[in-house]
Amino acid sequence: MAALLASLVLVFLAGLVTALATGLGALPFFVIDDVSDRTSVILWGLASGIMVSASLFGLVTEGLAEGTPGELAIGLLAGVVLVIVSHRVISGVEVHPRKYEEADYRKLLLILGVLTVHSFPEGVAVGVSFAELDLGGGLPIFGFSVPLLAVFMTLAISIHNVPEGVAVAIPLQSMGVPRVRMVWWAIFSSLPQPIGAVIAFVFVRTAREFMAVGFGFAAGAMVYLVLTEFIPEAREIGAELPHGGRRELLGGIAVGVALMVPLGFV
């Protein structure tokens, strides 16, 4: 029981690290007044490359090692369905950072609920990546044998969260919100991730016969998020740049892929 509790704490902390990374997106505003569209497009491209690579080189590979292609496909489809349903649930419910500053307790609960639907898949990806925790072959961290996939996935989600933090901070900065509070609200937008990480970890460790489905689920959600949110966001931001910002976007994607390539060889 104590070992399980310690594992849950570690997974929660990994999810918390990814949430805290969102706050990094607000840090540039301590020294500058604005983040250029070009930089934003590059960051979204970087996040896209990292997430797709981590999903294909890590989650899909692990899923195939743990089960059949059919089980993996079921998980992939379920992950896509989760994102589609999530989008429909929150469609028409706008959670703009301005509302953070104006929210009362009831509205904060609503905002947290919407953010949970939005960021839950990222937490699931972290939790699933810890499925082989203390089962051998991992890195010794804090007395645990941590899977390399978990290290890469935590890093990938953390880097992905930086441009999301920028997106949260930009309107708050225009409102004159103090910089420290901008960092807090950026982190707040990703707080559901450690909860999702713990839930996913418990699931894959309790129902190990569904591990392939779990890996596929996380991969499907991540790739679909990139295709339907990250890249369209980058294209919209870069619309006024030369060539629509395609060079910046593709450059960011290429760097993101390069960062995750080692995951395919571990």
The tens digit of pLDDT for each residue in 89-99 reads 666 555 555 55
Output the pLDDT for position 48.
87
Output the pLDDT for position 11.
93
Output the pLDDT for position 149.
84
Could you tell me the CA-to-CA distances from 251 to 2, 96, 130, 232, 258 in Å, in that order?
A: 46, 29, 30, 16, 11
Q: Are strands 144-146 and 139-141 parallel, antiparallel or unpaired?
A: antiparallel
The values of phi and psi at residue 139, to 5°, are -90, 135
User: What is the token pair recorded at 202?
Assistant: 């418990």
In DSSP terms, which residues pair with 146 in a beta bridge? 139
User: What is the token pair recorded at 262?
Assistant: 């080692």
Residues of the chain with pLDDT under 70: 1, 89-118, 174, 263-266
Could you tell me the CA-to-CA distances from 144 to 101, 128, 140, 147 in Å, in that order?
A: 40, 16, 5, 9
Output the pLDDT for position 121.
78
Could you tell me the CA-to-CA distances from 41 to 172, 247, 250 in Å, in that order?
A: 19, 9, 9
Output the pLDDT for position 132.
82
The tens digit of pLDDT for each residue in 148-191 reads 888 888 988 888 788 878 877 877 776 777 888 888 888 887 88
The CA-based angle 191-252-54, given to 5 degrees, is 55
Cβ atoms of 27 and 167 within 8 Å: the answer is no
The CA-based angle 230-24-126, given to 5 degrees, is 60
Identify the burial level of 10 via C-beta atoms within 10 angstroms of its C-beta, where 0-12 means exposed, 13-18 middle and 19 or more buried.
buried
Distance in angstroms (rounded) separating the CA atoms of residues 85 and 90? 9
* Mean pLDDT, all residues of the chain: 81
User: What is the token pair recorded at 11?
Assistant: 């997974």
Q: Report the Cα 70 to chain-centroid distance in Å.
A: 25
User: What is the token pair recorded at 155?
Assistant: 């890093």
User: What are the structural domain ranges in the chain?
Assistant: 2-265
Q: What is the Cα Rg of the chain in Å?
A: 18
